[in-house]
Structure 1
Amino acid sequence: MRTSQRGAALITVLMILAIVVVIAVNMTGRLQLQLQRQQNVQQQQQAFWYALGAEQFARVLLSRSLSGQDTVNLQQDWAQSGASFPVDDGNIAGEIIDLQACFNLNALQQAGQRGPSGRIEQSVAQRGFTRLLELVASDLSMPAEYLTARIHDWLDEDSLLSTAGSAEEDDYAALQFPYYSANSLMASASELRVILDITPADLQLLLPYICVLPENSQLLLNINTLTEQSAVLLAALIPELTEADAIDMIAERPEAGFTSIDELLALPQLAGIEMSDDVKAILTIKSSYFQLLATTSYLESGFVLTSIFRVDDDNTVRVLARRFGGQG
């Protein structure tokens, strides 16, 4: 009897010990998980602060590069690509691009003038965008003029269809997962994803040529920061100009860029082409909007920051927008 009681007591002690061990192991696992989580947060925070440091550096670089300059061109310090800086336990890399060397989608908000027939004609920006689509997006899932009209109606303040093939609030509200058109300017080119019937493939075709200037519906194209890839924008604005001639014009550009629009107009590729005043008004040799794409790392964590700057007349560089996680 006494032996049986001892055996039962031993089993009880072993069970209690096993429970204590399980609890201790569970507590240790939770503690290790919390420590790892805290370490990840600290690393992510450090990578974030490195990115903000890159943003501040970019602001100073832009201000110094453009101070006292009559033009904005790709020979200036801000335009040097591939900059990478090692830092304690990490790395900072960044690239600045000119947002006036791409097509500002917000410019499509502006409506055209009423023609002799009483029909509203496309604005110069709308005509240029439609031609751009025809040149670079021949596989677009809809006619080029439809997409131009749909972006215009997404941006304009009313809920009326501007033309056949467009889309407005009722069209978006009738979708399986309904929403309304913005009826205001875009904040990011990623908003193009929600335009009716646009596909991911369409978006990939357009991304190299489009951008969005926050709260700005003006279309200006800096002829000094266009590259051979983006030279097609010139051909889009000037219908009589071929894409090959536009590329040749950029290839012939002086290293420090054109000093005036007249230098561009004097090139042989434009001989015999009558350019309208509203197209000439789009061309410029200066820029006020820039974008920084900063990529940072710290230990095992990384961070991507996209910042949009505006350079004011007094050479002050202001941050207009930030996006975390890269381009939309």
Structure 2
Amino acid sequence: MKTQTQHGVALVLVLLIVAMATTIAAFMAQQQAFWQREMENGRDRAQARRIAEAGIDWARAVLADDESVNPGVDNAREMWAMQLPAIPVEGGEVQGTIVDQQGLFNLNNLVANGVLSAPDLARFQRLLAALGLPQELGNTLVDWMDANSETMPNGAEDEYYMSLDKPYRCANLPLSDIGELVWVRGFDATTIQRLQPFVSVLPESNTAVNVNFAPPEVLMAILPGLTLQDARQLALQASSTPFMSLADFLQRLPKTVIQDSTLLLSVSSQYFMVTGYATQGDGASSAHVLLHRAGIWATQVRKSLQ
């Protein structure tokens, strides 16, 4: 009886060992499959990233060709301004866009060399009003960027930011990216989303506005006396019959517009935002690059890869 019991226990142990070995083998096989799949996904993502970055080189070549053929003029009817449709590549596809950045209001124009630009603040406040946003946002943004510690009316300097639950100090520097606005008093996600289609963040101040790309709200903000209806008409003309010179644009302005000698206008651009998106197998990648074209070939100002 005792021997039979021992044999039964041994059999149970053998069955348990076999079951454990089977479970371990299955687990290892599953982990091997996961590891192999992760390796394949990583390979696909890396290839997609390389393809997306290649789209940036394509954009530089397109912009160089444009400057060689049509120097001094940039408008929405040129080849570079048209969205690149999805192009099949082996195992995936790639697409890209080049978007002018000088038809927008450059937020860094608000402060030059650490000092407020009063004319640009007035323009920005008119833009805020046109968008239904509080005009005091202009003062808080100037306080964030200027070099002094004096608080503008309804503005915010270190005293305000250091009193927060998680304190920090003013940058006292130009903006590096529009995402930095989340740190500035009054600029919540909804405000930034409303503002984003009309503004840019360029690495210099005192940049000209390309009237061939300016939205009606921007035109109305920078040209006192221009109504929104007239601004929409000018934007419509720019899309169908682009302004080939600044004189051409000024000639088409209504007589109600007040001429501002401090305003810089242009029919050409130097800054462009390029977005490249690529898929490869199960991997996907996007590249966002701000290009500066001074001369023929554009250089990268900042880049974001995802």
Q: Shorter-chain TM-score: which interval?
A: over 0.9
Q: Of residues 123, 145, 150 in structure 2, which corresponds to 1:160?
A: 150
2:97: which partner in 1? 95
1:263: which partner in 2? 248
Contact 1:110-1:123 at 8 Å conserved across structures: no
Larger RCO (alpha carbons 8 Å, 6+ apart): 2
Separation in structure 1 between the aligned mates of residue 105 and residue 226 of structure 2, nearest angstrom: 17
Q: Of residues 247, 252, 276 in structure 1, which corresponds to 2:232?
A: 247
When residues 84 and 31 of structure 1 are mapped into structure 2, their CA distance, relative to the original with a 3 A threshold, is: same
Deviation at 1:110, TM superposition (A): 3.2
- 1:1-328 equivalent positions in 2, closer than 5 A: 1-68=2-69, 69-110=71-112, 123-136=118-131, 138=132, 140=133, 143-144=134-135, 146-161=136-151, 163-213=152-202, 215-226=203-214, 230-253=215-238, 255=240, 257-267=242-252, 269-279=253-263, 282-313=264-295, 315-325=296-306
| Structure 1: 5+ residue stretches without partners | 114-119
SS in 1 for 2:155: coil
Q: State, as a whole percentage, how many aligned pairs show the same letter.
A: 26
Contact 1:125-1:219 at 8 Å conserved across structures: no
1:116: which partner in 2? none
Separation in structure 2 between the aligned mates of residue 253 and residue 305 of structure 1, nearest angstrom: 29
Query: Given residue 119 of structure 2, which amino acid in structure 1 is its aligned partner?
Result: V
Contact 2:111-2:205 at 8 Å conserved across structures: yes
Q: TM-score if structure 1 supplies the norm length?
A: 0.87
Contact 2:114-2:145 at 8 Å conserved across structures: no
Separation in structure 1 between the aligned mates of residue 297 and residue 281 of structure 2, nearest angstrom: 34
Deviation at 1:75, TM superposition (A): 1.9
SS in 1 for 2:286: strand
Deviation at 1:308, TM superposition (A): 0.6
Separation in structure 2 between the aligned mates of residue 13 and residue 111 of structure 1, nearest angstrom: 81
How many residues align? The count is: 304
Separation in structure 2 between the aligned mates of residue 59 and residue 171 of structure 1, nearest angstrom: 43
Contact 1:72-1:224 at 8 Å conserved across structures: yes
SS in 2 for 1:67: helix
Deviation at 1:272, TM superposition (A): 4.4
SS in 1 for 2:290: strand
Separation in structure 2 between the aligned mates of residue 22 and residue 273 of structure 1, nearest angstrom: 80
Deviation at 1:232, TM superposition (A): 1.7
Deviation at 1:82, TM superposition (A): 4.5
Deviation at 1:183, TM superposition (A): 1.1
Separation in structure 2 between the aligned mates of residue 256 and residue 30 of structure 1, nearest angstrom: 62
Separation in structure 1 between the aligned mates of residue 88 and residue 73 of structure 2, nearest angstrom: 32
SS in 2 for 1:274: coil
Query: Given residue 249 of structure 1, which amino acid in structure 2 is its aligned partner?
Result: L
Q: TM-score if structure 2 supplies the norm length?
A: 0.93
Deviation at 1:102, TM superposition (A): 0.6
Residues 111-160 of structure 1: CA deviation (Å, up to 9, x unaligned): 999xxxxxx8x622111100001011x1x3xx31x210111111112332
- How well do the aligned residues superpose, as a CA RMSD in angstroms? 2.0
Deviation at 1:94, TM superposition (A): 0.9
Deviation at 1:78, TM superposition (A): 0.7
Query: Given residue 270 of structure 1, which amino acid in structure 2 is its aligned partner?
Result: P
Separation in structure 2 between the aligned mates of residue 257 and residue 306 of structure 1, nearest angstrom: 27
When residues 272 and 202 of structure 1 are mapped into structure 2, their CA distance, relative to the original with a 3 A threshold, is: closer
Separation in structure 1 between the aligned mates of residue 239 and residue 103 of structure 2, nearest angstrom: 17
Separation in structure 2 between the aligned mates of residue 256 and residue 131 of structure 1, nearest angstrom: 27
